[in-house]
């Protein structure tokens, strides 16, 4: 019989805080590690747990509420807080790759899994996670299903050439790291001290006692001053996060509806594998890490050059480049959505989330392939209310209401929680003068979901890089919506280069095609797939007293 606690919603004391509500941070490091001694690692991890070093969702919630930053998409959460005035807070979270789980799980689980796989490679094992993309990892997934080019990837996320010839999955994937520690802090000094705590817990540097080694690391930090919360192109980031039922406040009228917790957390309502996965996986979540290098001068130069070349008058004039950039993103740099501020920025609408892109077939609103529309298409993926051309903007009722319009308005299962951070220095005077990227900067993109194929993989391969998505636009606009201007990939070398269809300001029944080239301002450098266990799973399944 299920306990009372199991019948409730997500347990904030049992989830790792990087999933929800997020790790409070100005600085964040990712320590990618390899386990060198399974037995010792399990004991060292238990010590870390016993000392309360793995930060929970409740701890993060209490801190963020205390400093007035619990609502991420708000002016309060983006305000500049000089270092001396920051309330101290440090955090550690941990996640494992498929290879790491094989090393750290209880030995009997691995033996049983190996036996099952030998008898039938497609057989399901109820004692462990069965998620195909998680097992393969990002390299195998996006090189072969997506469009990642091994030569373009960062060496840390690229398989050795010899491994590509191996047929046995465990041998083929053996080059991958075993996991990642996510360390966050309010300043750089506190971050360094927290990293030392991890190194001490696992005896790193002690040839006789060490249980793991850090293979490589990535260091990020929020942008300084008034740019806190913005990515390097200058746009507010992490605005339209999905609201999770039972965790977040109810969405305001007109905002996307709340999602069942199982879209993010395994074992809850909405998780497609709720009745198939192992019990210990409940309240865990799959983590995607991906490195995106940004070329800011090249992006700004593109906007300036193309704005004046686009037919019509929509992007003419001194502010044409700014408007074009906003239309490619779907929001102005202030955070105001193009859906409510089409011709010029309206800073008073910063962080506004009350829109759904209706009327769905009108090119006079947010471009169909704008980044925020590709990543969260809203009404494009929901049942129509009125007709697609009539301009009906009546706020939709809650899905749980009795109103007939509520049917078919539930959120799509492809939603993800984004938790990344920027890295690299601010634009230098030399880069501005030469209009060329010299320093290394970008985003360490991370996100959480209960199924990678429904979340990150689907967004990248089925939406961002699909010139015909959102659907049902080609009848009027034969070029199709186009590709995501920031994260699109060519799925095959014989596919056309990216483009986006735009309104020329004159003819609402025809679009103009703006060629984007091949990701000219974002280099996708690869990454990895992880599983982030619950606190209970870390204690009972992954560690030893």
With 0.75 as the threshold, say if the pTM is over it. yes
Residue 368 lies in a domain: no
Q: If you average pLDDT over residues 308-312, what whole number do you get?
A: 95
Token pair belonging to 230: 């913005």
Number of domains in the chain: 1
Backbone angles phi, psi at 455, to 5 degrees: -100, -105
Q: How far apart are CA 450 and CA 435, in angstroms?
A: 41
Q: Encode pLDDT of 126-156 as tens digits.
A: 677 878 999 999 999 999 877 888 989 999 9
Please check whether residue 400 lies inside any domain of the structure.
no
pLDDT at residue 124 is higher than 90: no
List 59's β-bridge partners, or say none: none
Contacts for 85 with CB less than 8 Å, ≥ 6 apart: none
Q: Are 27 and 220 in contact (CB under 8 A)?
A: yes
Please indicate, yes or no, if residue 165 is contained in any of the structural domains. Answer: yes
Assess if residue 507 is contained within a domain. Answer: no
The closest of 246, 272, 275 to 259, measured between CA atoms, is 246
pLDDT at residue 2, as a whole number: 43
- Kindly state whether residue 486 falls inside one of the protein's structural domains: no
pLDDT digits (tens, 9 = 90+) for 223-235: 999 999 999 999 9
pLDDT tens digits along 14-58:
999 999 999 999 999 999 999 999 999 999 999 999 999 999 999
The answer to which of 61-75, 201-215, 337-351, 480-494 has the lowest mean pLDDT is 480-494
Residues in the chain: 545
Computed over every residue of the chain, the mean pLDDT equals: 91
Is 399 part of a structural domain of the chain? no
Based on its alpha-carbon atoms, the radius of gyration of the chain, rounded to whole angstroms, reads 23
Model pLDDT for residues 488-499, shown as the tens digit of each residue: 987 556 667 889
Structural domain includes residue 71: yes
Helix (H) or strand (E) holding 445: strand 442-449
Mind listing the pLDDT tens digit for each residue in 240-286? 999 999 999 999 888 999 999 999 999 999 999 988 889 999 999 99
| Residue 326 structure tokens | 């906003």
Q: What local confidence, expressed as pLDDT, does residue 474 receive?
A: 73
Q: What is the pLDDT of residues 75-121, one digit of tens each?
A: 999 999 999 999 999 999 999 999 999 999 866 655 565 666 566 66
CA distance 509 to 520: 29
425 falls within a domain: no
Domain that holds residue 112: 27-292+530-542
């Amino acid at each position: 019989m299920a306990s009372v606690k199991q019948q409730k919603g997500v347990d904030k004391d049992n989830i790792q805080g990087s999933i929800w509500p997020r790790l409070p941070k100005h600085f964040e490091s990712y320590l990618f590690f390899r386990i060198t001694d399974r037995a010792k690692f399990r004991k060292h991890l238990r010590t870390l747990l016993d000392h309360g070093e793995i930060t929970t969702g409740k701890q993060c919630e209490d801190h963020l509420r205390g400093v007035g930053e619990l609502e991420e998409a708000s002016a309060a959460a983006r305000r500049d807080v000089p270092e001396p005035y920051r309330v101290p807070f440090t955090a550690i979270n941990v996640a494992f790759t498929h290879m790491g789980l094989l090393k750290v799980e209880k030995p009997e689980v691995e033996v049983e899994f190996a036996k099952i796989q030998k008898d039938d490679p497609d057989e399901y094992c109820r004692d462990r996670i069965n998620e195909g993309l998680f097992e393969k990892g990002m390299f195998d997934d996006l090189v072969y299903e997506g469009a990642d080019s091994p030569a373009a990837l960062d060496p840390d996320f690229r398989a050795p050439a010899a491994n590509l010839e191996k047929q046995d999955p465990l041998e083929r994937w053996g080059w991958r790291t075993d996991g990642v520690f996510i360390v966050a802090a309010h300043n750089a000094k506190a971050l360094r001290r927290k990293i030392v705590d991890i190194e001490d817990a696992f005896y790193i540097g002690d040839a006789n006692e060490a249980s793991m080694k850090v293979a490589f690391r990535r260091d990020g930090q929020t942008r300084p001053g008034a740019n806190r919360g913005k990515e390097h192109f200058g746009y507010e980031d992490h605005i339209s996060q999905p609201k999770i039922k039972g965790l977040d406040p109810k969405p305001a009228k007109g905002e996307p509806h709340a999602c069942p917790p199982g879209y993010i957390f395994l074992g809850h309502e909405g998780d497609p594998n709720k009745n198939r996965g192992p019990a210990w996986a409940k309240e865990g979540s799959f983590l995607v890490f991906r490195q995106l290098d940004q070329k800011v001068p090249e992006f700004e130069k593109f906007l300036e050059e193309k704005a004046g070349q686009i037919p019509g008058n929509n992007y003419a004039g001194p502010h044409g480049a700014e408007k074009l950039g906003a239309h490619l993103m779907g929001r102005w740099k202030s955070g105001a959505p193009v859906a409510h501020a089409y011709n010029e920025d309206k800073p008073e609408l910063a962080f506004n989330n009350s829109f759904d892109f209706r009327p769905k077939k009108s090119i006079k609103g947010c471009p169909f392939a704008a980044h925020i529309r590709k990543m969260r298409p809203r009404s494009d993926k929901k049942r129509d209310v009125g007709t697609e051309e009539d301009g009906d903007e009546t706020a939709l009722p809650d899905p749980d209401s009795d109103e007939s319009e509520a049917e078919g308005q539930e959120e799509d299962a492809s939603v993800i929680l984004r938790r990344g951070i920027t890295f690299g220095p601010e634009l230098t005077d030399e880069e501005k003068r030469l209009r060329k990227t010299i320093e290394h900067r970008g985003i360490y993109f991370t996100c959480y979901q209960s199924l990678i194929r429904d979340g990150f993989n689907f967004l990248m391969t089925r939406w961002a890089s699909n010139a015909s998505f959102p659907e049902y636009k080609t009848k009027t606009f034969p070029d199709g919506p186009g590709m995501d201007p920031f994260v699109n990939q060519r799925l095959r070398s014989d596919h056309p280069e990216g483009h986006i269809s735009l309104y020329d300001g004159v003819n609402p029944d025809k679009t103009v095609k703006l060629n984007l080239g091949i990701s000219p301002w974002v280099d996708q450098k690869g990454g990895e797939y992880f599983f982030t266990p619950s606190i209970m799973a870390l204690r009972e399944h992954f560690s030893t007293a």
